[in-house]
């Protein structure tokens, strides 16, 4: 790349930062012209081009890019001292290109208007409302568990392969799309990540590659976790950047699947977040509600916890803090805690929708 072009790209980097900062202050502009305008076209083209591949092109690109960056730093390490100005021009030019690709291909969705606004529901609730909703949700989960398990103490096993779960996740969105047209998922691109082992040690269940628009799922997790994780990553593909919103949409998609096993997984997924919030604000109520829950449901929860406990390592908190900083830098003030804010959407959604 010629030095003149690098200078132009480097100059454009801070201008991009200013533009994105301005867009952050105008979510309706992002919603109208990007999230509901440009992005659906861009994302469909990406999924059309790469969705048919049986492997994750995004994973391959990340590994290749990592190798190239390390190789470039090693080869040009002397330039940092001998031609410091050129070194930083090159670095800023590279950052400018990557930043533009990230924002244009997906990242601006972090700055769209909140989902509760689009759905016409509130975003506040009282502890009493949460507890009342949790009681109703426990009754729903217990009834589903009773129909799927031989007795109240046995966990529900998922009899599907990963491929079947991905196909059923697509079916989930076809069902949800009949209620909300904005959740149309076509073409599809839902895949097992080639990097599932490192993702597991990092503590991640999946991710959306913003450059290839492939939804990546950590296939090493228990199958009980795969339906909601898959649906969560598809929600990101559809342009919902906030983690609590992707959680909520993934929940909605899963419970609207005609398969009762998927419904059970979806409802218990939502309940887990509600109980977690109640435990935080009222431990006594948490104990009371927990005693109402079938033991088999608790066994499914335990299965997930034990999986992650097996892979805990000293580096995991570092990755979590890095991701927390990434989320905060992208309009999610609560960072990783944003995941649990699905509770506000759940409580308010069911104020106007029958459970």
Structural domain including 80 reads 3-111
79-122 residue pLDDT tens: 766 777 887 888 899 999 999 999 999 999 999 999 999 889 99
29-47 residue pLDDT tens: 999 999 999 999 999 999 9
The answer as to whether 210 is a domain residue is yes
> End of a domain among 111, 139, 171?
111
* Mean pLDDT in residue range 63-75: 86
Residue at token pair 């201008």: 15
d(CA 212, CA 96) in angstroms, rounded, equals 18
Pair 169, 67 in one domain: no
Pair 198, 278 in one domain: yes
> End of a domain among 111, 139, 154?
111
d(CA 268, CA 145) in angstroms, rounded, equals 10
Pair 326, 219 in one domain: yes
Contacts of residue 272, defined as CB under 8 A and 6 or more positions apart, other chains included, come to 301
Pair 170, 318 in one domain: yes
| CA–centroid distance for 327 within its chain | 11
- The per-residue pLDDT for 327 is 66
The answer as to whether 116 is a domain residue is no
Pair 137, 38 in one domain: no
17-26 residue pLDDT tens: 999 999 999 9
Contact 184, 177 (CB under 8 A): yes
The answer as to whether 128 is a domain residue is yes
The answer as to whether 51 is a domain residue is yes
* 187 upstream amide cis, omega within 30 of 0: yes
d(CA 171, CA 167) in angstroms, rounded, equals 6
pLDDT band at 182 (very low <50, low <70, confident <90, very high): confident
Is pLDDT at 320 greater than 70 in this prediction?
no
Pair 324, 180 in one domain: yes
Pair 57, 179 in one domain: no
Pair 130, 13 in one domain: no
Of 349, 333, 342, nearest in space to 24 by CA: 333
The answer as to whether 155 is a domain residue is yes
Pair 174, 247 in one domain: yes
Pair 289, 321 in one domain: yes
| Number of domains, the chain | 2
277's tokens: 């919030």
Pair 98, 151 in one domain: no
- The per-residue pLDDT for 115 is 93
> End of a domain among 78, 111, 144?
111
197-215 residue pLDDT tens: 999 999 999 999 999 999 9
Pair 243, 224 in one domain: yes
């Amino acid at each position: 790349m010629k030095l003149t072009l690098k200078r132009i790209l480097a100059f454009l980097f801070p201008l991009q930062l200013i533009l994105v900062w301005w867009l952050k202050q105008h979510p309706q502009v992002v919603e109208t012209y990007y999230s509901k305008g440009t992005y659906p076209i861009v994302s469909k083209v990406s999924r059309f081009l790469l969705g048919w591949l049986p492997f994750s092109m995004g994973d391959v690109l990340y590994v290749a890019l990592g190798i190239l960056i390390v190789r470039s730093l090693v080869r040009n390490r002397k330039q940092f001292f001998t031609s410091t100005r050129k070194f930083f021009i090159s670095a800023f030019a590279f950052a400018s290109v990557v930043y533009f690709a990230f924002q244009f291909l997906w990242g601006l969705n972090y700055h769209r208007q909140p989902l509760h606004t689009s759905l016409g529901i509130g975003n506040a609730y009282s502890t009493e409302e949460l507890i009342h909703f949790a009681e109703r949700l426990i009754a729903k989960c217990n009834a589903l568990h009773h129909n799927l398990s031989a007795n109240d103490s046995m966990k529900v096993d998922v009899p599907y392969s990963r491929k079947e779960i991905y196909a059923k996740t697509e079916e989930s969105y076809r069902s949800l799309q009949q209620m909300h047209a904005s959740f149309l998922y076509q073409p599809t691109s839902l895949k097992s990540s080639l990097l599932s082992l490192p993702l597991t040690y990092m503590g991640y269940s999946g991710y959306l590659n913003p450059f290839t628009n492939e939804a990546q799922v950590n296939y090493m997790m228990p199958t009980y976790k795969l339906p909601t994780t898959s649906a969560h990553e598809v929600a990101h593909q559809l342009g919902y950047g906030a983690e609590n919103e992707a959680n909520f949409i993934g929940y909605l998609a899963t419970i609207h699947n005609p398969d009762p096993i998927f419904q059970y997984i979806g409802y218990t997924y939502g309940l887990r977040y509600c109980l977690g919030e109640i435990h935080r604000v009222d431990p006594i109520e948490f104990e009371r509600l927990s005693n109402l829950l079938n033991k088999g449901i608790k066994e499914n929860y335990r299965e997930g916890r034990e999986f992650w406990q097996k892979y805990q390592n000293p580096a995991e908190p570092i990755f979590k803090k890095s991701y927390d900083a990434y989320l905060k830098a992208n309009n999610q003030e609560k960072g990783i805690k944003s995941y649990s804010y699905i509770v506000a959407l759940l409580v308010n959604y069911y104020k106007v929708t029958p459970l």
